[in-house]
Chains A and B, each alone.
Chain A
Amino acid sequence: MIDAKQPSEHLKKCLADAQCCSVMTDKSMEEFFTPFVSSKAAGGGDSLNKNDIGIQCDVVIIGSGPGGGVVAGVLAQKGYKVVVLDKGEYYAPDDISTLEGPSMISLYENFGALTTEDGGLSLAAAKTVGGGSCVNWSVCFKTPEHVRNEWVHEFGLQLFASEAYEQAMEVVWKRLSVQEVTNKHSLQNSVLQKGCKKLGLHIGALARNASPDHYCGWCSYGCPTGDKQSTPETWLLDAVKTSNTLILSNCKAERILHCPNLTGKKPSKAQGVMASIGDSKATARLFIKANATVVACGSLMTPPLLLNSGLENCNIGKHLRLHPAHSVWGIFPEDSEDFPEGTCYEGGIMTAYSRVSRRNSSNYGALLETSCFHPAIFAAFVPWCSGKNFEHSSILLLFLQFLILTANPKIIPGNLATILCNNS
């Protein structure tokens, strides 16, 4: 792991010492760079400058989250020389403060304040080595049968009906030590279970990539104990152990470098990546020449990279599914014996869920899960009003519309390429 925060001689030396890549000579860099000079894809200047660095490897992977991390782990173990780029910083369990403000700023895209254009949804997307797997709530769902069927029958994606896909999910399940037992449920999950049982509604256990006695509640701000099996604790660790892998943090991929593909079926072929080192006033670019380029920046950040690289497939950026979510709340004063113990901020964040009975027969419905609000987020999200305002607005009760939605970051093992920030 190398922190590529500033271009320096030290960085060059580290890259030269790394076993998994070779630093290009000035001449070979010139040769590599020349085809892109005239194209928009090279960006930021027509000639190489003296701080630019060029390296060469088998596979370059952009993003170290649940998608890129797995690819890195698997390929490095097969003997390929892998370079992983991540624009975020690496935090070891000991570095995790779990403080709300600093964690939002250091671990999330746009300091945790990413929204859609009209402000209708707030999007929580991680920006750190390990990506979403570091800040998600450790819930794992296998791709459900009805979703796989839909992909097979409506889109002709036979892969999802195959034995290989089933096996791939098992591999992920095993490496992340996913299990369904929760020794002690939090206040919120106890309430969800109690309410659903009383009403005779469905209630299920959520599988988690954490141990049965994981009772923390700070998953959103990284895992201070390392009990949550995030990518840096699993696949990236496997990758680094082989010494075939180099992870560059604080290194932002700017363009995928691609050339016309004269021999193959597809019109162009990726040759590698151009990345920037340091902040927006970066004085250096890193050119990575690779036989294969993997883009694993999540559903939010992958399309911008493809578009900025000059790729033109009409589907890039379309079909963004966010699993919009809305929270409701209830107060359970402490003074009653029938109420579950605990506080809303402690304990496994999501350990139980309920399927909402659908009014229609479609497979697109909703789930009830518990949510996690630490004081600052709670203060920001919980609406408040004056008495006068309330009396006025309650007249509009029947016209209630729900406008505030939150995207939910969640790992869906197996569905590695399309992992969201989430929620969910």
Chain B
Amino acid sequence: MPAGKDAKERMLHYSRTVHICVVTRDKGSGKVGVDRNQHPTFEYSLLAHDEDSMMTGVDQALRVLVAAGATEIGTHQFDGERFKVQGKKRLGNLNPWSRICKSMIVSYMHHSV
């Protein structure tokens, strides 16, 4: 699918796209400083422990969306990955996916749900 069409198609679902936010209590911490113009600077990198909390949360959030009946799920990961939920009639409305993707989705869903 061309990229422009993909973006528009996602926007068409806007009003019924439910977001769940995974908020972590971070064990790691960042740093606030000032640059040479005395403007604030912020440094932060995610600790492995916190990344693990976040991944656990993302996994659980995706399962919650599926359990509530989502027809399609995804993250805000920059590469635009998304998964159709299998076994629902309404899937017909959405764009077709390649076989490879479908089998991967199935394995992903089995793995995580």
User: A interface vs B, CB < 8 Å?
Assistant: 114-118, 120-121, 123, 187-188, 191-192, 194-196, 198-199, 201, 299-301, 303-304, 307-308, 317-336, 338-339, 343-345, 354, 356-360, 362-373, 375, 378-379, 381-387, 389-391, 393-394, 396-397, 400-406, 408, 423-424
Contacts and interface: CB of A to CB of B under 8 A. Distances in A.
Contact of B65 (A195, A317, A335, A356): A195
Contacts, number: 320
Contacts of B104: 394, 397
30 contacts: A121-B44, A188-B20, A191-B18, A192-B68, A194-B69, A196-B67, A300-B40, A303-B40, A304-B34, A324-B54, A326-B75, A327-B21, A328-B62, A329-B18, A329-B19, A330-B72, A331-B71, A336-B69, A344-B16, A358-B56, A365-B53, A366-B56, A368-B61, A383-B78, A383-B79, A386-B3, A390-B81, A400-B77, A405-B46, A424-B23
A201 B65 CA distance: 13
A191 B63 CA distance: 12
Contact of A323 (B24, B63, B73, B75): B24
Given A366-B25, A378-B11, 18 more contacts: A117-B42, A120-B46, A195-B63, A304-B40, A326-B75, A327-B19, A330-B18, A330-B66, A332-B17, A345-B15, A362-B27, A364-B50, A366-B54, A367-B25, A368-B21, A378-B14, A386-B6, A402-B55
Given A117-B43, A120-B45, A400-B77, A366 B64 contact: no
Contact of B33 (A303, A331, A365, A372): A303
Given A303-B33, A375-B14, A328 B75 contact: yes
Contact of B78 (A199, A373, A403): A403
Question: How would you classify the secondary structure of chain B's contact residues: helix, strand, loop or mixed?
Answer: mixed
B26 A307 contact: no
Given A331-B13, A364-B53, A336 B90 contact: yes
Contact of A318 (B31, B58, B101): B31
Most-contacted residue by chain B among A201, A317, A404 (CB, 10 A):
A317
Given A325-B23, A383-B76, A394-B104, A116 B43 contact: yes
B18 A344 contact: yes
Contacts of B60: 201, 354, 356-357, 368
The list of the 3 closest CB pairs from A to B, nearest first, reads A330-B70, A195-B64, A330-B65
B76 A323 contact: no
Contacts of A322: 26, 30, 44
A357 B53 CA distance: 9
Contacts of B31: 317-318, 320
A379 B19 contact: no
Interface of B: 1-3, 6-7, 10-11, 13-27, 29-34, 38-46, 49-58, 60-81, 90, 93-94, 98, 100-101, 104, 108
Contact of A364 (B1, B13, B19, B27): B27
Given A199-B63, A332-B71, A371-B20, A404 B1 contact: no
Most-contacted residue by chain A among B38, B51, B68, B75 (CB, 10 A):
B68
Contacts of B61: 328, 368
A370 to B, nearest CB: 6
A198 B74 CA distance: 20
B69 A332 contact: yes
A354 B56 CA distance: 13
Contacts of A344: 14-19
A187 B18 contact: yes
